[in-house]
Chains A and B, each alone.
Chain A
Amino acid sequence: MSRLADIPIPDELIQCARKADAAAQAAIYRAMGPAVFALIRRLVGNRAVAEDLFQDTMMAMFQRLGEFRGEAPLGAWLRQIAVTRCLMYLRSPWHRARLHWEFGDEDSSLRSVMLPATPATSVDVVDVERALASLTPVGRAVVWLFEVEGYSHEEIAQLFGRSVSFSKSQLARALARLRQGLTPQEDQEACTQI
Chain B
Amino acid sequence: MHTDLDDKNIAGRLRTAADESSEAPYDWAEFQRRAHRSALTRAIERNRPVAIAASVLAALLVTALPFVHATREHAPPVALPDATVRTNASDRQEQARTRAIEGWLAGLPRDHAIVRVGTHAAVSSLQDQIAALDDLMSAERVSGAQPVRLDALERQRAQLVSSLAQVQYAEMLASATP
Contact = CB atoms under 8 A, between A and B. Distances in A.
Contacts of B2: 183-187
Contacts of A127: 13
Interface string B9-43: 01101111111111111101001001100100000
A118 B35 contact: no
B13 A182 contact: yes
A37 B20 contact: no
A34 B19 contact: no
Given A34-B23, A121-B20, A143 B28 contact: no
A62 B31 CA distance: 12
Contacts of A122: 20
A36 B31 CA distance: 14
Interface string A162-179: 000000000000010011
Interface residues of A, number: 45
Given A29-B28, A58-B31, A59-B35, A179 B4 contact: yes
| Chain A contact residues, majority secondary structure | helix
A187 B1 CA distance: 5
Interface string A103-147: 000000000000001101110110111001000000000011001
A126 to B, nearest CB: 9
B20 to A, nearest CB: 5
A84 B31 CA distance: 21
B17 A125 contact: yes
Contact of A42 (B1, B16, B18, B23): B18
B82 interface: no
B73 interface: no
Interface of A: 1, 3, 25-26, 29-30, 33-38, 41-42, 47, 50-51, 54-55, 58-59, 117-118, 120-122, 124-125, 127-129, 132, 143-144, 147-148, 175, 178-179, 182-187
23 contacts: A3-B19, A29-B24, A29-B28, A33-B24, A34-B23, A35-B22, A36-B24, A37-B22, A37-B24, A59-B35, A59-B38, A118-B22, A118-B23, A121-B21, A122-B20, A128-B14, A129-B17, A132-B17, A143-B14, A147-B10, A147-B15, A175-B10, A187-B2
